[in-house]
Amino acid sequence: MKLLRRKEGPSLDSRLAALLEAASLAEGRLPEQAVSGARSVAERAGARRNLSVDHTVAALAGATGSGKSSLYNALAGAELAAVGVTRPTTSTAQAALWDGEGAGPLLDWLDVPQRHSAATAGDLSGLILLDLPDHDSIRISHRLEVDRLVELVDLLVWVVDPQKYADAALHERYLRPLAAHRDVTVVVLNQVDRLPAQAVDRCLRDMRRLLDDDGMKGVPVLAVSARTGTGLPQLRELLEDRVSERESWSARLAADVTTAAAGLATAAPEQAGPAERGAVAGRPGMGGALTGALSQAAGVPLVVEAVAKGHRHRAIVATGWPVTRWLRRFRPDPLRRLRVDGMAPKGTAAGGVTGRAGREVEG
Ligand SMILES: Nc1nc2c(ncn2[C@@H]2O[C@H](COP(=O)(O)OP(=O)(O)OP(=O)(O)O)[C@@H](O)[C@H]2O)c(=O)[nH]1
Ligand SMILES: [Mg+2]
């Protein structure tokens, strides 16, 4: 399965520069939180692009008991992570590396000290697979770890199970705010061995419908069983494609920049009505320059429209869990109109050796 192809747009570099310019122009005009949010996105993007682009960081995320650690072990070909009956089991992220040579600084930046070499060879060379704690955890530290890494990884693999695939915690707190990230999102329906065949199809159809509603149209949804191995070859193939393309990192950053630009565009002062908001974005001088920079950062000229609609999103912006508040500013409605075109320069080919099962590797 290939990355959804989009036509070439402005480079990631130019979009990052435009975002920084927009942040400068917005200084003192738009709320400080929105300005600093955009700056931190630009900083994060700058940091990631200076680290290994030969490696693709994919995270297995999802609710407790969905089977993240089981899938992690199945893909790595070794019992690297504890799989538990008592919930929640995983408390800190760990990484499995397929050819981890040169990945040390990237893993340091991710702050994932627990690293292993995967036991399976083949075309996954360059993959860094993270097993995350549960996003819906009763433990706050688990949720913080998930949110921290969801902001940083290149590819998000959401592992759902037949009981919890429709949970609001997943759709409202993660998938909808990350609608612009659909090119770097994959959904895995695990534990299909527990369902009769017709129920699997029904579940998949329902999940696709929910994803469409989330603004995640076209995101791959795979039916798998970590227990029986059903669907694992397809999941492995998908990961192989993403790893060999080496585009996930730049697609992720492009989506971040789009989201941040939309966030600035919808952050006009609380007291401003639609007309005034339009003036902020559209009038000549500083406002026009800001509009231009935001459009350039987003890769489309539709930011003005998002600004005009911004008041609808303000109530949501004001609420939300602090860690994901920067995402909360970007509910999907304006983002659905902000089609991402820009893809960043590609990385160079990776080489090297595949490590042994369960061996801790130095970064
Ligand atoms: N029947 C079935 N059981 C599964 C499958 N995958 C995982 N399990 C079981 O589900 C339970 C939870 O699996 P884990 O892999 O620990 O789940 P997790 O998502 O890592 O859970 P946390 O670490 O708590 O977030 C274990 O008892 C697994 O054996 C599957 O595909 N089919
Ligand atoms: Mg686990």
pLDDT in tens, the chain (363 residues): 444 444 466 789 999 999 999 999 888 888 888 899 899 999 999 999 999 999 999 999 999 999 999 999 999 999 999 897 777 888 899 999 998 899 999 999 999 999 999 987 678 999 999 999 999 889 899 999 999 999 999 999 999 999 999 999 999 999 999 999 999 999 999 999 999 999 999 999 999 999 999 999 999 999 999 999 999 999 999 999 999 999 999 999 999 998 888 888 877 554 444 444 444 444 333 467 888 888 788 776 544 444 445 433 433 333 333 233 444 444 444 444 443 333 233 332 222 222 222 333 332
Q: What is the domain partition of the chain in residue ranges?
A: 12-49+251-337, 56-247
Start-to-end CA distance of the chain, whole Å, equals 30
Helix, strand, coil share of the chain (percent; to 5): 50, 10, 40
Question: d(Cα 360, Cα 116) in Å, to the nearest integer?
Answer: 5
- Residue carrying structure tokens 């122009």: 25
Question: d(Cα 174, Cα 324) in Å, to the nearest integer?
Answer: 9
Three-state DSSP class for residue 129: strand
CA of 63 from ligand 1 middle (Å) equals: 10
CA of 138 from ligand 1 middle (Å) equals: 17
259 lines ligand 1 (CB under 6 A): no
What is the number of the ligand closest to the CA of 74?
Answer: 1
User: How many residues in total does the chain contain?
Assistant: 363
What is the number of the ligand closest to the CA of 159?
Answer: 1
Q: Are 124 and 243 in contact (CB under 8 A)?
A: yes
> What distances in angstroms separate CA 360 from CA 55, 97, 102, 243, one per listed residue?
18, 10, 15, 22
CA of 32 from ligand 2 middle (Å) equals: 38
Ligand 1 atom nearest the C-alpha of 91 is: 23
**CA-wise closest residue to 323 among 187, 219, 177:** 177
125 lines ligand 1 (CB under 6 A): no
Ligand 1 atom nearest the C-alpha of 224 is: 31
Q: How do strand 56-62 and strand 127-131 relate by DSSP bridges? A: parallel
139 lines ligand 1 (CB under 6 A): no
Ligand 1, atom 9, residue with closest C-alpha = 67
Q: Are 341 and 7 in contact (CB under 8 A)?
A: yes
**CA-wise closest residue to 258 among 155, 172, 332, 157:** 332
- In CATH terms, the superfamily for domain 56-247 is P-loop containing nucleotide triphosphate hydrolases (3.40.50.300)
List, in sequence order, the alpha helices (H) in 215-339: 232-245, 248-265, 274-282, 286-298, 303-308, 314-318, 325-328, 332-337
Q: Are 44 and 70 in contact (CB under 8 A)?
A: no
CA of 56 from ligand 1 middle (Å) equals: 24
73 lines ligand 1 (CB under 6 A): no
- Residue carrying structure tokens 């917005």: 26
CA of 60 from ligand 2 middle (Å) equals: 9
Question: d(Cα 295, Cα 19) in Å, to the nearest integer?
Answer: 9
What is the number of the ligand closest to the CA of 83?
Answer: 1
Query: Residue 220, preceding bond cis, omega within 30 degrees?
Result: no
